């Protein structure tokens, strides 16, 4: 140890080049270390975010620099039934899909928390829908929802004989809306289940033992131990899930592109259709900006979820 | 049934209740309460993949004829769809583009987030928690809000229709994630190790290279495979910034190039989806534990 120590010291003393000393100067090193990450985020995240808000107040189109038009874009949106429709479906989609994901995902996490053979293999399989590119699994759903050759219709009509006609999954508004929500739930379950499983594994078994000795039923154990202990992690996972479900784009764009008759447009797909495909950058940016209040609401939800953390883990409030 | 078990547990101590009845009861209960729902979950979660795989090997005649062929199985599998995809479309080219974009974005974000995480967690300066919080907040900004202004930024930089634009833009959602993951890993490395090295006269960059990074290798692998998967799967930026067919990534190309006309080539579409999913699936199967640990670690942070 002492040999290496002296060696290292000698090595440094022999070549105290100004470059070495500069890189060992802490403030300089901090700046150098933070520059790539902060630079990338500032140029490609903060600046576009500000630019997006600015664009929302202009009438920019592709190829033409716009002028400031004040609230005109937003006033137009408020009178646009398509925008209202997209707001309604975004909220509905988020609410139903989040509820479904968390109910089923929590259930799956509780199931996976038991002991059984091949547990790790099963856990790996469960995560697959989340790993595979969403658009590609959305294409599989599109094929599953095919009006003529849907495998679900085949199963219901020719195997179970519970229906006499094929299900029209994507042809009319409400079935299309629920079909998309089902695909979203399918894709979201693994993430919820695996993150909640991690939370479940941190709950000390001694709590359950104590409750069992006191004669608590399975439901009581869930209600008074599992659920409150899981609340902090539930709040975080739910915030992420809400944000990314509300701003979802891929599933809808791949399966229905907002149809039939614009009934399944989310705000993100509507913004794409107006902004990029239609070239009305200003209006598209206004639609995108109109998502921000909802996202701020979701983030505050996370903040207050996090704030509950301390007393739940039995630490002193500070 | 639950009540009955609870009653039994209440009346007598759990450990001293008669073992045989309890055991049978709990086994039957386990079947109904655990294995049955679990197999339903697995069946539903895997079915789209099964359907994707089986469709890509079905000849067209079987694909659209449920009356004479059982749709759940293939009687005469064919490689025609995959052959069509590989030799009659630009699919191999799309795969190469996607691969290079994913690898480039992964390296760029790993490099910058390692340095950032090291500065925030180990160089400890005034305001470092706020920088960390700022980076975390960046993760909450979804691409759906950013893609329109980013498209104009990309045009301004003259990068429109170039894969380089994607390599530069993907770190916006990769860096926050990787930085938080790596901060967690750096935290788990004892600071005393670095102090020893400092006393021995090592410079800070030597410490990072010789001590901290080797110890954080699992974290680096987690962050790396996660970034790779996320960049491989990214859709909205690739759709908005890339125009020419040759530069498209796999998810965008399948949707915009293969879906054409009124009659969809379901066989080729599903074969394309299957091949496009395989790289991440293989990657995933090699590093399952890292995926699970990074996913759960990032949530817990």
Average pLDDT on B50-76 reads: 83
Average pLDDT on B225-243 reads: 90
- Identify the weakest region by mean pLDDT among A123-137, A231-245, B64-78, B231-245: B64-78
Average pLDDT on B178-188 reads: 87
d(CA B38, CA B87): 41
| Residue A33 pLDDT class (50, 70, 90 cuts) | confident
- pLDDT, residue B298, reads 57
Domain boundaries, chain A: 80-311
- pLDDT, residue B237, reads 92
| Residue B47 pLDDT class (50, 70, 90 cuts) | very high
Residue of chain A whose alpha carbon sits nearest to that of B252:
A135
Q: Other CB atoms closer than 10 Å to residue B39's CB: what's the count?
A: 11
d(CA B153, CA A50): 12
- pLDDT, residue A308, reads 56
In this predicted structure, the answer to whether residue A295 has a pLDDT above a threshold of 50 is yes
In this predicted structure, the answer to whether residue A88 has a pLDDT above a threshold of 90 is yes
In this predicted structure, the answer to whether residue A4 has a pLDDT above a threshold of 60 is no
Asked whether the beta carbons of B216 and B185 are under 8 A apart, the reply is: yes
> In the 8-state DSSP scheme, what is residue A310?
H
CA B68 vs CA A159, B64, B76: distances in Å: 14, 10, 13
Query: How buried is B211 (Cβ within 10 angstroms: 0-12 exposed, 13-18 middle, 19+ buried)?
Result: middle
Determine, for residues A55 and B266 on separate chains, whether the beta-carbon distance falls below 8 Å: no
Determine, for residues A8 and B295 on separate chains, whether the beta-carbon distance falls below 8 Å: no
Most confident of A113-122, A175-184, B185-194, B242-251: A175-184
Domain boundaries, chain B: 1-50, 89-300
Percentage of chain B beyond pLDDT 70 is 87
Residue A154: partners with Cβ closer than 8 Å, 6 or more residues away: B66, B71
Q: Residue A20 CA to chain centroid, in angstroms?
A: 44
Average pLDDT on A170-193 reads: 92
| Residue A89 pLDDT class (50, 70, 90 cuts) | very high
Name the B residues in 140-169 with CB < 8 Å from any A CB. 140-153, 168-169
Asked whether the beta carbons of B253 and A134 are under 8 A apart, the reply is: no
pLDDT in tens, A247-256: 999 999 999 8
- H helix runs in chain B, sequence order: 2-11, 19-30, 36-56, 60-63, 80-88, 91-118, 128-139, 143-156, 163-169, 171-188, 191-199, 204-207, 213-215, 217-233, 236-241, 250-253, 266-286, 288-300
Asked whether the beta carbons of A226 and A203 are under 8 A apart, the reply is: yes
- Averaged pLDDT of chain A: 85
Average pLDDT on A259-286 reads: 90
d(CA B70, CA B135): 53
- pLDDT, residue A1, reads 45
Shortest distance between the Cα of B83 and any Cα of chain A, in A, equals 19
Phi and psi of B243, rounded to 5°? -110, -45
CA B212 vs CA B49, B117, B118, B205, B301: distances in Å: 41, 11, 9, 10, 20
Percentage of chain A beyond pLDDT 70 is 90
- pLDDT, residue B6, reads 45
Query: How buried is B100 (Cβ within 10 angstroms: 0-12 exposed, 13-18 middle, 19+ buried)?
Result: middle
Asked if A258 reaches chain B (Cβ–Cβ under 8 Å), the answer is no
- pLDDT, residue B262, reads 63
Residue of B145, B195, B251 to mutate for A, most A C-beta atoms under 10 A: B145
- Identify the weakest region by mean pLDDT among A216-230, B2-16, B33-47: B2-16
In this predicted structure, the answer to whether residue A302 has a pLDDT above a threshold of 80 is no
Residue B116: partners with Cβ closer than 8 Å, 6 or more residues away: A33, A34, A36, A37, A38, B131, B135, B175, B179
Q: B212, B178, B214: which is closest to B195 by C-alpha?
A: B212
Residue B58: partners with Cβ closer than 8 Å, 6 or more residues away: B74, B77, B78, B267
Average pLDDT on B238-259 reads: 88
Average pLDDT on A145-167 reads: 83
- pLDDT, residue B14, reads 42
Percentage of chain B beyond pLDDT 90 is 25
pLDDT in tens, A272-281: 999 988 888 8
- Which residue has better confidence, B25 or A218? A218
Average pLDDT on B163-183 reads: 91
ipTM of the complex: 0.83
CATH match for B89-300 among 2.120.10.80, 1.10.3720.10, 3.40.50.1580, 1.10.1240.10: 1.10.3720.10
Residue A318: partners with Cβ closer than 8 Å, 6 or more residues away: A310
Asked if B46 reaches chain A (Cβ–Cβ under 8 Å), the answer is yes
> In the 8-state DSSP scheme, what is residue A64?
B
> In the 8-state DSSP scheme, what is residue A317?
P
Average pLDDT on A64-82 reads: 89
- Which residue has better confidence, A73 or A309? A73
d(CA A156, CA A151): 9
| Residue B245 pLDDT class (50, 70, 90 cuts) | confident
d(CA B11, CA A142): 55
**Residues of chain B neighbouring A202 (CB-CB closer than 8 A):** 300
d(CA A51, CA A289): 11
Residue of A13, A40, A229 to mutate for B, most B C-beta atoms under 10 A: A40
- Identify the weakest region by mean pLDDT among A16-20, A76-80, A148-152, B224-228: A16-20
Average pLDDT on A298-302 reads: 73
Determine, for residues A276 and B151 on separate chains, whether the beta-carbon distance falls below 8 Å: yes
In this predicted structure, the answer to whether residue A310 has a pLDDT above a threshold of 80 is no
Name the A residues in 84-123 with CB < 8 Å from any B CB. 104, 107-108, 111-112, 114, 116, 120, 122-123
> In the beta sheet, which residues pair with residue A61?
A64
- pLDDT, residue A41, reads 92
- pLDDT, residue A306, reads 56
pTM above threshold 0.80: yes
> In the 8-state DSSP scheme, what is residue A275?
I
The two tokens of residue A151 are 């495998």
Q: B122, B175, B152, B108: which is closest to A48 by C-alpha?
A: B152
The two tokens of residue B112 are 């910058």
> In the beta sheet, which residues pair with residue A64?
A61
pLDDT in tens, A221-243: 888 888 888 887 888 888 888 88
Residue of chain A whose alpha carbon sits nearest to that of B203:
A24
Residue B21: partners with Cβ closer than 8 Å, 6 or more residues away: none
Residue B119: partners with Cβ closer than 8 Å, 6 or more residues away: A29, A30, A33, A34, B125, B128, B131
Asked whether the beta carbons of A298 and A246 are under 8 A apart, the reply is: yes
Residue of chain B whose alpha carbon sits nearest to that of A154:
B66
Q: Is the peptide bond before A260 cis (omega within 30 degrees of 0)?
A: yes
d(CA B61, CA B41): 32
- Identify the weakest region by mean pLDDT among A35-49, B171-185, B195-209, B259-273: B259-273
Determine, for residues B123 and A116 on separate chains, whether the beta-carbon distance falls below 8 Å: no
Name the A residues in 204-243 with CB < 8 Å from any B CB. 212-213, 215-219, 233, 236-237, 243
- Averaged pLDDT of chain B: 83
Side-chain-side CA neighbours of residue A28 (13 Å):
10
In this predicted structure, the answer to whether residue B227 has a pLDDT above a threshold of 50 is yes
Tokens 């191999």 belong to B92
d(CA A237, CA A199): 11
Determine, for residues B236 and A233 on separate chains, whether the beta-carbon distance falls below 8 Å: no
Query: How buried is B153 (Cβ within 10 angstroms: 0-12 exposed, 13-18 middle, 19+ buried)?
Result: buried
Average pLDDT on B4-20 reads: 44
- pLDDT, residue B198, reads 84
In this predicted structure, the answer to whether residue A7 has a pLDDT above a threshold of 80 is no
CATH superfamily of A80-311: MetI-like (1.10.3720.10)
């Amino acid at each position: 140890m002492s040999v290496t120590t002296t060696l290292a010291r000698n090595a440094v003393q022999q070549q105290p080049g100004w470059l070495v000393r500069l890189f060992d100067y802490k403030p300089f090193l901090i700046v150098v270390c933070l520059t790539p990450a902060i630079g990338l985020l500032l140029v490609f995240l903060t600046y576009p975010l500000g630019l997006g808000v600015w664009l929302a107040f202009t009438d920019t189109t592709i190829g033409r620099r716009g002028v400031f038009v004040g609230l005109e874009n937003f006033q137009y949106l408020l009178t646009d039934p398509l925008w209202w429709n997209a707001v309604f479906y975004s909220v509905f989609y988020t609410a139903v899909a989040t509820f479904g994901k968390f109910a089923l995902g929590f259930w799956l996490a509780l199931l996976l928390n038991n002991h059984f053979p091949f547990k790790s293999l099963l856990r790996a399989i469960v995560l697959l829908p989340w790993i595979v590119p969403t658009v590609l699994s959305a294409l599989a759903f599109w094929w599953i929802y095919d009006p003529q050759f849907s495998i679900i219709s085949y199963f219901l009509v020719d195997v179970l004989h519970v229906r006499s006609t094929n299900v029209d999954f994507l042809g009319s508004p409400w079935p299309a809306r629920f079909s998309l929500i089902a695909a979203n739930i399918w894709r979201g379950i693994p993430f919820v289940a695996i993150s909640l499983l991690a939370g479940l594994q941190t709950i000390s078994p001694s709590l359950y033992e104590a409750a069992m000795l006191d004669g608590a039923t399975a439901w009581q154990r869930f209600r008074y131990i599992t659920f409150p202990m899981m609340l902090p992690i539930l709040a975080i996972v739910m915030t992420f899930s809400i944000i990314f479900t509300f701003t979802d784009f891929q599933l809808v764009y791949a399966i229905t592109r907002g149809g039939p008759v614009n009934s399944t447009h989310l705000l993100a797909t509507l913004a794409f259709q107006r902004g990029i495909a239609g070239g009305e950058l200003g209006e598209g940016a206004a639609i995108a900006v109109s998502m921000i209040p909802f996202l701020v609401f979701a983030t505050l939800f996370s903040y207050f979820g996090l704030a509950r953390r301390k007393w739940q883990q039995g630490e002193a409030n500070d | 049934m639950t009540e009955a078990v609870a009653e039994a547990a209440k009346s007598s101590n759990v450990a001293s209740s008669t073992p045989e009845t309890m055991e049978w009861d709990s086994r039957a209960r386990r079947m109904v309460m655990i294995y049955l729902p679990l197999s339903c979950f697995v069946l539903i979660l895997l079915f789209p993949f099964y359907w994707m795989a089986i469709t890509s090997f079905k000849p067209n005649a079987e694909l659209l004829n449920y009356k004479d062929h059982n749709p759940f199985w293939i009687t005469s599998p064919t490689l025609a769809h995959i052959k069509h995809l590989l030799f009659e479309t630009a699919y191999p080219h799309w795969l190469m583009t996607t691969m290079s974009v994913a690898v480039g974005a992964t390296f760029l974000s790993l490099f910058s987030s390692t340095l950032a995480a090291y500065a925030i967690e180990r160089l400890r300066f005034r305001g470092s928690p706020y920088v960390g919080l700022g980076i975390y907040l960046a993760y909450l900004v979804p691409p759906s809000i950013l893609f329109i202004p980013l498209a104009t930024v990309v045009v301004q930089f003259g990068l429109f229709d170039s894969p380089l634009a994607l390599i530069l833009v993907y770190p916006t959602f990769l860096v926050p994630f990787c930085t938080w993951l790596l901060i967690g890993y750096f935290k788990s490395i004892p600071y005393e190790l670095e102090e020893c090295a400092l006393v021995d006269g090592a410079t800070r960059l030597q410490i990072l290279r010789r001590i901290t990074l080797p110890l954080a290798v699992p974290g680096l692998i987690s962050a790396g495979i996660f970034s790779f998967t996320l960049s491989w799967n990214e859709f909205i930026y690739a759709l908005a910034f890339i125009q020419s067919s040759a530069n498209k990534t796999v998810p965008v190309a399948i949707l915009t190039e293969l879906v054409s006309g009124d009659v969809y080539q379901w066989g080729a579409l599903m074969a394309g989806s299957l091949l496009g999913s395989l790289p991440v699936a293989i990657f995933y199967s090699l590093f399952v534990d890292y995926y699970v640990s990074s996913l759960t670690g990032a949530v817990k942070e």
